[in-house]
Amino acid sequence: MTYFRLLRKNLTRKKLRLFLTIFSIFTAFLIFGILKTFDSALNAGIELAGADRLITSSKVSLIQPLPFSHYTKIKATEGVANVTHASWFGGYYQEPKNFIVSFAVDAQSYLEIYPEIFIPQDHQENFLANRQGVLVGEALAQQYNWKVGDTFPLISSIWTNQDGSRTWEFKVEGIFSDPEEKFDTRSLMFHYVYFNEGRTGARDTIGWLVIKTESPEVNEAVSKAIDEQFANSPNETKTDTEAAFGKAFLEQFGNIGLIITSIVGAAFFTILLIAGNTMVLAVRERTNEIAVMKTLGFANGRIFTLIILEALILVLLGGLPALGFSWVLIEALKGAVGGALPPMTLTPEIFLQAIAYMVLLGFVTGGLPAFNAVRINVAAALGRKAL
């Protein structure tokens, strides 16, 4: 009898138990695939942050604006090569569900500090020349079928226009992309001057400043100098690296990494118990058969390998389809999250990590039953009544 046939017979001995075990493993790896992808999307900006870029925001809160005068003072700070600023717009297109990551920026300096943003030269010139112009990310333009020259209204959930509405009119002057995928192209940016003149409140304030330092080695000194400059003032600042700022922004929604780790850990612990219990019962039920196999010349190594392979196949039967289904669900969810997150993708790294967990789970759940199987005493086992 071949290994394959033995494995198939042993796995399908109790079909209902097999189905329930596979379903439990499927559920756990489905959760793993989706949550790890979600976590990866949230942390994409942190991982790709520029080493020589700092972010200065209000010490009180990320949503607390800073006076525009901070921009001029920070620009004169030693070790600062360039400075720009941005303000959160909180925009959506037509309906609140069509949320768009949108910023009012100091156009010229913003593009200088973020060279990874690729814009055709004519698009950039047109954008800089039109105060009502907007730069739209490639993915966002494809989503709404926007082209250069199109006009569209963007509604703010925060800011009121001078006409009393929250609707702002923009003209697409350029479409930006990022060949290296370091910048989210499901977003847009427009001129701070147009935004500042049009809003009814909080004029001459900015959301945060982006500082490009002369080198990463002076980051700490520049951060300290900036914050000391505004210490004990009505608008104290907190300056961090771009990566630290991104992490702080995410932590407003809670410690997502810990939440994801806890959920995945709980799911894995549960399936470890389920799969382990399944393998223990399966081997216990076959005590007499294993004893017969030994009398027929099956070496302990072959029996050990057979049980380990059985556990591995059991885990893979549940885990691999779960990863495939995770990919399908993630692709379906991309449209639902809009521009609220960077594009969610089940990356090869997540896939390989899941495979590694499957293999580890197979060895862990199959190891003890396999060890017990090779220790079975033939005479004692043949004298027992099979379960």
pLDDT at 8: 74
pLDDT at 79: 92
Q: Which two tokens stand for residue 148?
A: 């250069």
CB 137 within 8 A of CB 185: yes
pLDDT at 291: 66
Q: Residues near 244 by Cβ (< 8 Å), separated by ≥ 6?
A: 55
Length of the chain: 387
Single out the residue of 315, 226, 249 nearest to residue 11, CA to CA: 315
pLDDT at 303: 76
Q: With 0-12 CB in 10 A as exposed, 13-18 as middle and 19+ as buried, what is 383?
A: exposed
Query: Is the pTM value of this prediction over 0.85?
Result: no
pLDDT in tens, the chain (387 residues): 566 777 777 777 778 878 888 888 888 888 888 888 877 766 655 444 457 889 999 988 878 899 999 999 999 999 999 999 999 998 999 898 888 989 999 999 999 998 888 899 999 999 999 999 999 999 899 889 999 999 999 999 999 998 889 999 999 999 998 776 656 788 899 999 999 999 988 899 999 999 999 888 888 899 999 999 999 899 999 998 776 666 655 555 455 566 767 777 777 777 777 777 777 776 676 666 666 666 766 777 777 788 888 888 888 998 899 999 988 888 777 655 544 455 567 788 888 988 998 898 888 888 777 777 666 666 555 555 544
Distance CA 276, CA 307 (A): 12
- How many CA atoms are closer than 13 Å to the CA of 295, on its beta-carbon side? 12
pLDDT at 69: 92
pLDDT at 212: 92
Backbone φ, ψ for residue 35 (5° rounding)? -70, -40
First-to-final CA distance of the chain: 23
Q: Residues near 57 by Cβ (< 8 Å), separated by ≥ 6?
A: 64, 66, 207, 208, 209, 237, 238, 245
Distance CA 270, CA 265 (A): 9
pLDDT at 155: 94
